[in-house]
Amino acid sequence: MNASVAIVGRPNVGKSTLFNRLVGRKLALVDDQPGVTRDRREGEATLGHLAFRVFDTAGLEEAADDSLTGRMRQQTETAIADSDIIMFVIDARVGVTPSDRQFAELVRRSGKPVILVANKAEGRVGLDGAYDAFSLGLGDPVPLSAEHGEGTSDLLEALMPFF
Ligand code: GDP
Ligand code: MG
C-alpha cells in the first residue's frame, strides 16, 4: 500500500522540521517566521520499516482577528483531502492554543485517521504541554522532538495500525 500522510497544524509548531526528518533531507524550508512554507511539499518518507508519501503544508496564518486565512486553509484542506492519514502537530511547549482548536476542527471534520503529535517535547517542559493536548479529543498525543529525533519509535507505533 502506498499510503500518504499530511502534516498539518498552525505555523511554527515544527511541521517542516518533522517533514525533513521523515524524508531524511532538507526539502522543506524551516524558519523561525511562522508560515514560511508557501507551497505544499511532498517527499518519500521512511520510518522504521514503513514507507509512505508525506506532504508538508503551510499552517494557518494567524490574522489579527484569529480567523483562518483563505488560501492557507484551502491548501491545508486540499492536503487533508489528498491524504490517507493526518499528522496533526501542536507545540508541546506552548500547549493548545485557540488556533490549534480551530485546526483540530478542520482535521476532525475530514473523518480521516489522525495522529496527534506534540512536538518540541524534549525534556520535562514538553511533556506537560503534551498532556494538555489530551483536551483536543483527538486521542493520545505522541510526544516528539522532530528537531532532536526523540519519540520517533512512538510515532512509528502510532502509524502502524493504518498500514
Ligand atoms: P512550521 O512552521 O510548522 O513548518 O515549523 P518549522 O519546522 O519551520 O519550525 C519552527 C521552529 O520550531 C524552528 O525554529 C524550528 O527549529 C523549531 N522546532 C522544530 N521542531 C522542534 C523541536 O522538536 N524542538 C524544539 N525545541 N524546536 C523545534
Ligand atoms: Mg513549515
By CB neighbour count within 10 A (0-12 exposed, 13-18 middle, 19+ buried), where does 110 fall?
middle
* C-beta of 120 in contact with ligand 1 (< 6 A): yes
121 is in an annotated binding site: yes
At residue 113, the pLDDT reads: 97
48 is in an annotated binding site: no
At residue 138, the pLDDT reads: 95
Cell output for 11:
505555523
Our mutation pick for probing the ligand 1 site, out of 12, 26, 72, 124, counting the most ligand atoms within 8 A of Cβ, is 12
Q: Give the pLDDT of the chain (163 residues) as one tens digit per residue.
A: 579 999 999 889 999 999 999 998 766 556 555 555 555 688 899 999 999 999 988 744 444 444 455 666 777 888 899 999 999 999 999 999 998 998 899 999 999 999 999 999 998 766 777 778 999 999 999 999 999 999 999 999 999 999 9
Neighbours of 163 (CB within 10 A): 12
* C-beta of 146 in contact with ligand 1 (< 6 A): yes
At residue 118, the pLDDT reads: 95
ipTM attached to this prediction: 0.99
At residue 48, the pLDDT reads: 93
pTM: 0.89
C-alpha 13/C-alpha 146 separation (Å) is: 10
Residue 142, CA distances (Å) to 14, 98, 137, 163 in order: 14, 20, 13, 18
At residue 71, the pLDDT reads: 67
At residue 63, the pLDDT reads: 42
CA atoms within 13 A on the CB side of 112: 24
Q: 6 near 87, Cβ under 8 Å?
A: yes
